[in-house]
A and B are shown apart, each in its own frame.
Chain A
Amino acid sequence: RKEVEQDPGPFNVPEGATVAFNCTYSNSASQSFFWYRQDCRKEPKLLMSVYSSGNEDGRFTAQLNRASQYISLLIRDSKLSDSATYLCVANTGNQFYFGTGTSLTVIP
Chain B
Amino acid sequence: GAVVSQHPSWVICKSGTSVKIECRSLDFQATTMFWYRQFPKQSLMLMATSNEGSKATYEQGVEKDKFLINHASLTLSTLTVTSAHPEDSSFYICSAPLSYEQYFGPGTRLTVT
- A residues sitting closer than 8 Å to B (CB atoms) are 31-32, 34, 41-46, 49, 51, 87, 89, 91, 94-96, 98-101
8 Å CB contact of B34 from A34, A45, A96, A101: A96
Residue of A31, A45, A49, A95 with most chain B CB atoms under a 10 A cut-off: A95
- B residues sitting closer than 8 Å to A (CB atoms) are 32, 34, 42-44, 46, 49, 91, 93, 95, 97, 100-107, 109
8 Å CB contact of B43 from A43, A49, A87, A96: A87
Question: How far, in angstroms, from A31 to B4 measured CA to CA in the complex?
Answer: 24
8 Å CB contact of A91 from B93, B100, B105: B100
A41 touches B100 (CB 8 A): no
8 Å CB contact of B100 from A45, A51, A101: A51
Closest A residue to B44 by beta carbon equals A98
A96 touches B97 (CB 8 A): yes
CB distance from B34 to the nearest CB of A (A): 7
8 Å CB contact of A100 from B42, B46, B97, B109: B42
B104 touches A44 (CB 8 A): yes
Question: How far, in angstroms, from A34 to B95 measured CA to CA in the complex?
Answer: 14
